Amino acid sequence: MTDIIEKNLLLVDDDNPFLTRLGRAMETRGFTVRLAGTVADGIAEVKKDAPNYAVVDLRLTDGNGLDVIEALHAKRPEARVVVLTGYGNIATAVTAVKLGAIDYLAKPADADAVYGALTGDTENRNALPDNPMSADRVRWEHIQRVFELCSRNVSETARRLNMHRRTLQRILAKRAPK
């Protein structure tokens, strides 16, 4: 008798284009994919039929993706969950791992990195870069990302980053650090 492992995957993310692209990429890698755009939809999918694998974004429009992870592990403790987020920090990473996540990836993550994390395939994981970005460059990239997410509105970006508007304007006027 051959041991066939079902590769049911639940993707939970509120970024619809990203969700669709990642879903297609995971289907080409042999997964049966279900998509959810909110915490409520993710929990409903888990209650309907708990998948073996899940990729869950932390910040969703209607709440926190950790609720989906908690519901999944209550129903299927052996499920392999990868947390995917653009707003990573150590506290949420620790909480996600305590709830049963096996890995924590920062957006934008490519399909190979997600697949490697889900399956434990270290060959498909992204290698550590030879020249990692400096702390100044990481800070600058983060500020640029938030600025774009705020539709290039300086006042809104400054409010969200908890910094003075003029300080933000000076940072935005400078070139990117090396």
Give me 85's structure tokens: 């987020």
**DSSP helix/strand/coil, 124:** helix
For 150-177, the pLDDT digits (tens) are 888 999 999 999 999 999 999 988 887 7
For 88-105, b/e burial (b = at least 16 CB within 10 A) is beeebbebbeebbbebbb
Confidence at residue 110, expressed as pLDDT on a 0 to 100 scale: 82
pLDDT at residue number 26: 92
CATH number given to 8-124:
3.40.50.2300
- With beta carbons less than 8 A apart as the criterion, state whether 72 and 39 touch: no
Whole-number pLDDT of residue 127: 57
**Which pLDDT score is estimated for 94?**
75
List 60's β-bridge partners, or say none.
63
Separation between Cα atoms, residue 159 and residue 164, nearest integer Å: 8
Residue 131 to residue 165: CA distance in whole angstroms: 32
pLDDT for 3 equals 41
Residue ranges, comma separated, of all CATH 3.40.50.2300 domains in the chain are 8-124
| Whole-model pTM over 0.85 | no
Class of the CATH domain delimited by 135-173: mainly alpha
Range(s) within the chain of domains with CATH label 1.10.10.60: 135-173
pLDDT in tens, 14-25: 888 888 999 999
Rg (CA), the chain: 18
pLDDT less than 50: residues of the chain: 1-4, 124-125
